[in-house]
A and B are shown apart, each in its own frame.
Chain A
Amino acid sequence: MAGTKRGWLAAVLVLCVMSLAGFAPVRAIEQFASHALGALEGVLSEWMPSEAVERDPQATARARDAHAAYLESVSGAFDPADTDGDGAGLLVPVVSRSPDRYELVLRVPAGAVAVGAPVAHRGVLLGFVHRLGEDDTRATVALLGHSAARPVAGEWKASEAARPVWFLVRGREGDMHVSGRSSTVGPRPDQLAWTRDVGRLGDDLPPGLVLGRVVTGTRDAPGGGLVDDPDTEVRLQPVLDPYDVDVVGVQAKPGHALSTRTVGAALSRTSRAPGRWRVDVGTTSGVRTGDWVIQDGVFVGVIVVAGRSSSEVVDRVPAGLALVIDDSGGADEVVPCTPDVAGWPDDWRPRSGQLVAGGHLAYGGFLLGEVGAVGDDGWRLIRSRIDPHRAVTIVEP
């Protein structure tokens, strides 16, 4: 008898520890008991007080527009809406950086990007997708200084009326070397160079993307000192630090239609706690841990445990930049930033009450909440209220 008791006790204790440690199989098995919830959900939910959540429909619309505008600005020359042309611009996060190898690694939608796809940030060409891994969801980008990055046709113009100087850019040991110049005319100081339209030669790289700033070598000047020497090797200096970029635009495969796994669900009204909800769908409906839950354009949270027929949602904002909609100038201006001061643009401060948006490539923009108190160390996000009576949509992040 005592042995049986000790056995039960040991088993329960082990399960408790695994549960507290967040051991996924145990947390998923815990959801089996959710079947017991259904019996009274229908009856008791009728006794719940009506929690009318009033939402400003304009707020979700502005959040959606803000995300679209942000997508367009970062994707640059790759039109986010161009799904049947040369390839839409996808806004994707940088997940790792290798300055030693002149590479970035991006998380991309499976099958959406091909090797060789150009990668840009706000109109600046960064490099090209060099290889794909992990079921085509990780794209390694060879930056322009990488020897594996293909040569790029570029041009600079000494003045608006001047004849452009054409050249090729090749990568070598992290530097962008200029070769094959069409003219020996030297660049002006701080001369910028752009990609050139060579579509007739079969290169569909969008023209007008900034390649970098032209720098030349130096030679001894008569009387001492150094002066620029356009006859020496010309290089391009990046105009932005590619390792400091969090999101980039990458050209999708032509005709690629953005799609994502979405599941409709209902929030449980009798099984919840502040900041935590239960949804009535699980792995059998295709829900996975980490999926995002959205209600009528308002972000609810993230699935933290996916059981067979129910899942747990926690109020957690997706990592990365938030888009503050700054309307102080009359029109909406989208400011991508983080809640802490270090992530704010120079000479800018958010104001309490400004809307904060987020976004999903396929779903579009959604409302996260609004700026709360603004202090010296950052701003606090006040999350939008969730209506337990309304259905939600679960989307693959």
Chain B
Amino acid sequence: MTLLLLLLAVTATQIHVVADAWLGPAAPDPTVCLAAFCGLYWPRGTLPLAALALGWGRAMVLVEPAGGQVLCALVALALVATQRDDNSTSEGGYALVWAALTVSLAWAAAGWLLGQFTDVPIKAGRELFLGSVLALPFVRLAPVTARVAGFVTT
């Protein structure tokens, strides 16, 4: 499952790079939706692995050291996971959108903070916030996917 997530993260960021070539700074990054989904439904025990896959995949496409993006993903997933209710997948239809917004905020804040201490390039800006809008079409699909993947049973 982690490998699949890595592949999806790479694909999502590649799509972002293509969109960026057309739209410039207005291009959203769909990785945020993946991260929001993981924050909401990924098993807590292996959440660091999910962060590793998401950050590594994104950094790979953006030609950055993976450490920065993985740390950002870790912070974002941890923040969403602290807010989630493990016993329910139906705590409001727009949970995925709120989670995506939280992920964007946490990812961008962590990226900014890391940028203050290191000279490593870490792309974590407006593309994340724009990407959270892409979560809207998936609000109903996300709980179903989580059940199919075996992350939740209810």
- Which A residues lie at the B interface, using CB under 8 A? 1, 4-5, 8-9, 11-13, 15-22, 26-27, 30-31, 33-34, 36-37, 39-41, 44, 47-49, 51, 270-273, 276-278, 312-313
- Of all A-B residue pairs in the complex, the 6 with the closest CB atoms, nearest first, are A19-B67, A16-B67, A20-B67, A276-B63, A8-B48, A270-B14
Determine the residue in chain B with the shortest Cβ distance to A275: B121
Count of A-B contacts judged by CB separation below 8 Å: 116
Determine the residue in chain A with the shortest Cβ distance to B74: A12
Interface SS, A side = helix
18 contacts between A and B (CB under 8 A): A5-B44, A8-B45, A9-B48, A11-B48, A20-B67, A30-B59, A33-B56, A40-B10, A40-B11, A270-B14, A271-B14, A271-B60, A271-B63, A272-B17, A272-B63, A273-B121, A276-B63, A312-B63
* Complex CA–CA separation, A312 to B62 (angstroms): 10
A44 near B18 (CB under 8 angstroms)? yes
- Minimum CB–CB distance from B68 to chain A (whole Å) comes to 6
Chain A neighbourhood of B59, CB < 8 A: 30
A273 near B60 (CB under 8 angstroms)? no
Chain B neighbourhood of A31, CB < 8 A: 60
Chain B neighbourhood of A48, CB < 8 A: 18, 21
Determine the residue in chain B with the shortest Cβ distance to A314: B63
- Minimum CB–CB distance from A296 to chain B (whole Å) comes to 21
A270 near B48 (CB under 8 angstroms)? no
Chain B interface, number of residues (Cβ within 8 angstroms): 38
* Complex CA–CA separation, A11 to B46 (angstroms): 12
A16 near B71 (CB under 8 angstroms)? yes
B32 within 8 A of A: no
* Complex CA–CA separation, A271 to B61 (angstroms): 4
* Complex CA–CA separation, A40 to B11 (angstroms): 7
Within B65-107, the residues touching A (CB, 8 Å) are: 65-68, 70-71, 74
Determine the residue in chain B with the shortest Cβ distance to A310: B60
B6 within 8 A of A: yes
B63 near A278 (CB under 8 angstroms)? yes
B62 near A273 (CB under 8 angstroms)? yes
- Minimum CB–CB distance from A247 to chain B (whole Å) comes to 29
Assuming A12-B52, A19-B65, A36-B57, what are 9 further A-B pairs, CB within 8 angstroms?
A: A12-B49, A16-B68, A20-B65, A20-B67, A33-B6, A33-B57, A44-B14, A270-B61, A276-B121
Within B1-53, the residues touching A (CB, 8 Å) are: 6-7, 10-11, 14-15, 17-18, 21-22, 44-49, 51-52
A16 near B70 (CB under 8 angstroms)? yes
> Which of B17, B44, B68, B118 has the most C-beta atoms of chain A within 10 angstroms of its own C-beta?
B17
B118 near A20 (CB under 8 angstroms)? yes
> Which of A12, A13, A18 has the most C-beta atoms of chain B within 10 angstroms of its own C-beta?
A12
B149 within 8 A of A: no
- Minimum CB–CB distance from B77 to chain A (whole Å) comes to 11
- Minimum CB–CB distance from A238 to chain B (whole Å) comes to 41
- Minimum CB–CB distance from B14 to chain A (whole Å) comes to 4
